[in-house]
Chains A and B, each alone.
Chain A
Amino acid sequence: MASTQAGAGIGIANLPNQRHAIASKKGSALTMMIAGKQATPRPLIGESGLGKTTFINTLFTTTIKAPKNHKRRYNKTTEKTVEIEIIRAELEEKQFSVKLSVIDTPGFGDYTNNRDSWMPIIDFIDDQHESYMRQDQQPKRQELSDMRVHCCLYFIRPTGHTLKPLDIEVMKRLGTRVNLIPVIAKADTMTPTDLHKFKKRILEVIAAQNIQCYTFSLESDDEASTKRNMSIMDAMPFSIIGSTDDVQTSDGRTVKGRQYSWGVAEVENEDHCDFKKLRQLLIRTHMLDLIHSTEETHYENYRRAQMETRKIGEPKVKTVTNPKWKEEEEALRKRFTEQVRLEENRFRSWEQQLIAERDRLNKDLEAEHSHIKALEAELESMQVGLSPKRK
């Protein structure tokens, strides 16, 4: 086979450039080149107060989501729902636009009873796969809206001990459906030695409990990439500090960080936290891999599982296990039984009334009857009295 000489080739080597040109024109979902594909939804999951919102704003160096409005917290009636919020944004960098969808799950794990509080989240992820699958099965499938979840960041509370049963439950279910990246939130609570021990323990638990986390192949073409990949993998789970404020360090630099009375914790300092590594992973280096693995692995798993039991085009049999719906169902049922009972009572009292009426009328009738009888008897006696006179 004739090999093409460098410089005299037919132009195959130009393909990456072409792809680049196409990708640049079409823009992308979430900052990376993926010719033509749509938004990369990525949910942030974890208990409230772990810095999820701050993290997202830090990652994209812009306020994507406004911080929680605390004045309104008394207006909300305690609904036991984990409401899923989808925030869409479009970012642009060097004439490259990106459609970003961030899915936030507030209120997770805050309640006394948190059983099944993860159901809305799991259902949401499955729903996206489902929706894509249905659209794929339609005759016309040019305009696909792809909201499949590409990556899920699970925020772990920095207890310093180990993963909680609630965490394990949720992560197990997430790991089989989506690329799961565990993240240690508010890492500036822990000293470096504590953090190291904590990470080790979490990794042990993840291995022992068979939780599937996102992994990628470390091999790469050049040395530098391989080394970088290895350092990223080593840092899992990533410890992060989030901050959108600019503060002054003791040596005069202005950085994004948190200012304590005893020092400044910097977001972008690799000795302080793994934020930079995580950002590299999510945006600079592995976004393509995240999107592809979602399509090739997770979506295919879902599709295969569904296809084994369903025919093409059949809608999904939905088991309503959402606690909110169950509550509504209960409330409706109660209302209906109440109404039925009221109506029955009404009918019963009406019946009583009618019976009473009838009895009364019967009595009157009887009275009249006896009256008539009396009159007849009188008439008879009078007639009898008359006739002998005539004789």
Chain B
Amino acid sequence: MAHRIGRRKNVKKGFQFTLMVVGASGLGRTTFINTLCDADVVPKRECDEPEMAHVEEAIKIKPYTVELDEDGVKISLTVVDTPGFGDMIDNEYCFQEILGYLERQYDDILSEESRIKRNPRFRDNRVHALLYFITPTGHSLREIDIELMKRLSPRINVIPVVGKADTFTPQELADFKKRVMEDIEHHNIPIYNFPYDPEEDDEETIDENSELRSLLPFALIGCEEEIMVNGRKVRGRQYPWGIVEVDNTQHCDFAKLRFALLSSHLQDLKEITHDYLYENYRTEKLSRSAENLSD
């Protein structure tokens, strides 16, 4: 009940949510962002001169802010894109860049909190969730996937997704999802898996969360163009053998993920970021500086 009251107050003000999207190029990251916001937020990658194609591009971190309206609720969504991830031959640098960015946001909050006079309009740039795009190999997680998720999960809610899921037949997709989750468990990677308390929460919440948990990693297909199917206009991709619809839950999990991120679990992700991840970082940082002082 208290949850709902809080929401009503926020509905007028609108919510703020920051999402980071990480994945190798060519996995549909940019298209996903544009599909999510239903607008051309991120410009399509301009393919450089063929002569420069062998030059390795380092990772860049680019935030974009978009105002969305979800059923009357205003959401100020900031999407942080990371083009260039995994494109180099040696990708160690990418991890540090992303981690550095996340920690810088925490540092900003930390220093702001410690001020005597705090700025009431201080902008909270902490990232609340990270969507990691897994390459749809059909086998299982690669070393770079495991490394990244392990290193970033202490600082941010990691949600694994499968990009370009129209590579898979339904059976292959189910098998791949199973194997990915097995890998995640085997390597003890703490991802955000829609936690619920079987004793405290009500039936509805438990059902909702376990359903979302069973869909992990979310299979995504992105498309900005609209095409005609049976007289209606849908967002989809047209193949010689059929049409894949983005908003069709039979074809992919896009609609469910969008709802979870922007409606049902937005608050939960923010709370975990603030109450748990940020607190951990703060403790670590302050005890480190205390150690340094005592030395």
Contacts and interface: CB of A to CB of B under 8 A. Distances in A.
B88 A165 contact: yes
A166 interface: yes
A188 interface: yes
A159 B26 contact: yes
Interface stretch (B61-69, B116-124, B140-148, B260-268): B140-148
A262 B251 contact: yes
B91 A191 contact: no
B45 A161 contact: yes
A73 B183 CA distance: 9
Contacts of B6: none
B90 interface: yes
Nearest to B238: A191
Contact of B90 (A113, A168, A191, A204): A113
Nearest to A168: B54
A253 B239 CA distance: 19
B166 A114 contact: no
Nearest to B242: A263
Interface residues of B, number: 47
A161 B240 CA distance: 21
B215 to A, nearest CB: 16
Contacts of B89: 113-115, 165-166, 169
Contact of B26 (A111, A158, A263): A158
A287 B26 CA distance: 34
Interface string B137-180: 11110111001000000000000000010110110000000010
Q: Is the interface of B mostly helix, strand, loop or mixed?
A: loop
Contact of A70 (B179, B239, B240): B179
Contact of B143 (A112, A168, A191, A205): A112
A272 B240 CA distance: 7
A275 to B, nearest CB: 14
B241 A266 contact: yes
Nearest to A78: B143
Interface string A126-167: 000000000000000000000000000000011111111110
Interface in A190-238: 191-192, 201, 204-205, 207-209
B50 A48 contact: no
A282 B91 CA distance: 36
A100 B1 CA distance: 70
A29 interface: no
A186 B170 contact: no
Interface in A325-365: none
B97 interface: no
A209 B49 CA distance: 11
Interface string B67-104: 00000000000000000000111111001000000000
Contacts of B26: 157-161
A390 B219 CA distance: 125
Nearest to A158: B26
A155 B158 CA distance: 31
A145 B164 CA distance: 45
A166 to B, nearest CB: 5
B244 interface: yes
B56 interface: yes
B143 A111 contact: yes
A159 B85 CA distance: 14
B170 A264 contact: no
Contacts of B245: 262
Contacts of B51: 208-209
Contacts of A99: none
A297 interface: no
A205 to B, nearest CB: 4
Interface in B237-264: 237-245, 250-251
B166 A189 contact: yes
Interface in A253-287: 258-266, 269, 271-272
B47 interface: yes
Given A207-B50, A261-B251, A265-B239, A110 B144 contact: yes
Given A112-B92, A161-B47, A272 B241 contact: yes
B179 A114 contact: no
Contact of B54 (A209, A259, A271): A209
B164 A163 contact: no
B264 to A, nearest CB: 25
A260 B166 contact: yes
A188 B250 CA distance: 18
A50 interface: yes
A68 interface: yes
Contact of B53 (A49, A74, A157, A162): A162
Q: Which of A74, A259, A261, A264 has the most CB of B within 10 A?
A: A261
Given A110-B144, A271-B240, 7 more contacts: A49-B135, A49-B137, A110-B143, A157-B26, A163-B53, A165-B87, A261-B250
* 8 nearest CB pairs, A to B: A49-B137, A159-B26, A263-B242, A208-B50, A262-B242, A263-B241, A204-B50, A113-B90
6 contacts: A49-B135, A110-B142, A159-B26, A165-B56, A208-B53, A263-B241
Interface of A: 47-51, 68, 70, 73-74, 78, 110-115, 157-166, 168-169, 186, 188-189, 191-192, 201, 204-205, 207-209, 258-266, 269, 271-272
